[in-house]
Structure 1
Amino acid sequence: MSTTYTVVTIVAAAMAAFSAVSVFTHAKWVVEPLADYSVPRAWWPWLGVAKAAGAAGLVIGLFVPVIGLIAAIGLILYFTGAVVTVARARWYSHLAFPLIYMAPVVASLALRG
């Protein structure tokens, strides 16, 4: 396991965890766009749980590689869904946000040794 892989994975996990906490705490800059994208409010806690589980899975994956692989794939699917949701809502100026969170996860997956 390389140092680069470890650092990128920890950054990816931290970003996913931060995003999860932002949903759980109903940070205005997160929940207002979710409402604008017509994401049902009942889904918000589950979206936070998915991101938190992905973050935990990435960290666990440093010790149990198959868990990290599954977590990375799950987070990539999650953020791909976010991109689709933002595009369907026609908020094209917001497309970069889920991509920013997805990038270190993709990098982590690519750096797996």
Structure 2
Amino acid sequence: MFVTLAVVAALMTAVLLASAWAKFTRPTRLVDQMTTLGLPYGMLPFLGIVQIAGAGGLVVGLWWGPLGIAAATGLALYFAGAVATHLRVKDFKGTPPAISLAVIAAVLVALRVATL
């Protein structure tokens, strides 16, 4: 089961780092989406830092279980907030990716707890 945890954590880390990179480089598509969601432009770096911290927590959490659980829980809450934000403005196109990432983060919590 630990191998499954490591693979899922690695994939999630890659997604988080790519998403954080986009938040720092601010492509037009992302800026337009954040405007639609009603998020201030200045919040993008903060969201990127949170994603980098979550990715780091997942990686280090492979060796220190409590940190992995905390990081995955934080990511589940982060993406649950993203789902709520998309639903608040009725952005149903952006909701499924956020739901998927929230579910994957919850699976990571369960996998890390199971491998302690």
| TM-score after normalising by structure 1 | 0.91
Q: CA deviation at 1:105?
A: 1.8
Output the aligned Cα RMSD.
1.4
The residue aligned with 1:46 is 46
| SS, match of residue 93 in structure 2 | helix
Query: After the TM superposition, which of the residue ranges 25-34 and 4-13 deviates more from structure 2?
Result: 25-34
The residue aligned with 2:62 is 62
Identity percentage over the alignment?
Answer: 34
1:29-108 → structure 2 map (5 Å cutoff): 29-108=29-108
Any gaps of 5 or more consecutive residues in structure 1?
none
Instruction: Work out the CA distance in 1 between the residues paired with 2:12 and 2:3.
Output: 14
Any gaps of 5 or more consecutive residues in structure 2?
none
Q: Which amino acid aligns with 2:77?
A: L
The residue aligned with 1:5 is 5
| SS, match of residue 62 in structure 2 | coil
| Bigger relative CO (Cα 8 Å, ≥ 6 apart) | 1
| TM-score after normalising by structure 2 | 0.89
Instruction: Work out the CA distance in 2 between the residues paired with 1:58 and 1:99.
Output: 19
Contact 2:77-2:102 at 8 Å conserved across structures = no
1:3-52 CA-partner distances (Å, limit 9, x unpaired): 11110111111111111111111123322101111101121111111111
Q: Which amino acid aligns with 1:44?
A: L
Instruction: Work out the CA distance in 1 between the residues paired with 2:28 and 2:96.
Output: 18
Instruction: Work out the CA distance in 2 between the residues paired with 1:25 and 1:44.
Output: 10
Count the aligned residue pairs: 113
The residue aligned with 1:110 is 110
